[in-house]
Structure 1
Amino acid sequence: MDDATGARSATSETSNPFTSVPIEVSVCVGKARPLIRDLVALGENAVLPLDKTVDDPVELYVGDRLIARGMLEEKDDAASGQLVVRLTEVIDLQTGH
C-alpha cells in the first residue's frame, strides 16, 4: 500500500463515523429442503443433508445481500478450534458481480 492510499483510508475512516459501527456477517455453508414431516421428526443426533460438499465455497451475507465467497479453514492456532473464512471472491457491491 502506498502512502497516498493509506492516507485516504485513514482520512475516510476518521471523517466517517459509520466506519466504526459493527455489522453482522452471516456465513452460509449450505441449504436443506426437507419435507415438514421430516423436519418435525428430527431429533438429537439426526443428520440433515445439505446441498453442498465440504470443499464447496461458503457464502458471506450482510442481511440478505451476498458480499463474498470463501473457504472454511481452521484458525492457524489449531488448538483453539476456531473456524475462519478465507475470502476467494469479493462481490462488487456496485454491480453485484
Structure 2
Amino acid sequence: MVDDPNTPRPNPFSDVPIEIKVTVGRAHPLVRDLLKLENDSVLTLDRRVEDPVELYVGEKLIARGELQEVEGDTTGQLAVRLTEVADIKNEL
C-alpha cells in the first residue's frame, strides 16, 4: 500500500520526554549573605505569593501559570494551572 502524501505523519519526537522547570521567583543575595544561610533561614524572592510562576524548557519561556494543589490529593502534590501559553508550534 502506498502512503497518501496528504495524510499527516506522526511526529517522531512526540513521545520523547522533556523536563519543564517551574520558576517561582529569583533571589539576589550578596555572597556574604549566601554564606550565612542555614536551616530555617529565609531567602526573600522577587515575587509575591499571588504572582504567576514561569515554565521553561531549557532557557525558553513556554508558559505562565498559577500554583495549586492537585485536587483530591491528600499529600499536598503541587500542579500549575496554565494562564498564558507561548505559541511554540510556530517557533520550531
In structure 1, C-alpha distance between the alignment counterparts of 2:74 and 2:61, rounded to whole Å: 31
Which ranges in structure 1 are unaligned for 5 or more consecutive residues? 1-7
Aligned length: 84
Give the structure-2-normalised TM-score.
Answer: 0.84
In structure 1, C-alpha distance between the alignment counterparts of 2:51 and 2:39, rounded to whole Å: 26
Structure with greater helix percent: 1
The one-letter amino acid paired with 2:22 is V
Give identity over the alignment, percent.
Answer: 56
Confirm whether residue 31 of structure 1 aligns to residue 26 of structure 2: yes
Shift of 1:77: 1.7
Confirm whether residue 69 of structure 1 aligns to residue 64 of structure 2: yes
Deviation by residue 1:27-86 (Cα, 9 ceiling, x = unmatched): 000000000000011001100000111100000000000000000000002402100000
Aligned counterpart, 1:90:
85
In structure 2, C-alpha distance between the alignment counterparts of 1:23 and 1:17, rounded to whole Å: 14
Give the structure-1-normalised TM-score.
Answer: 0.80
Q: Hey, which bits of structure 1, 4+ residues long, moved more than 2 A?
A: none
SS in 1 for 2:79: strand
Which ranges in structure 2 are unaligned for 5 or more consecutive residues? 1-6
Aligned counterpart, 2:15:
20
**Out of 42, 49, 61, which is 2:44 matched to?**
49
Structure showing greater radius of gyration is 2
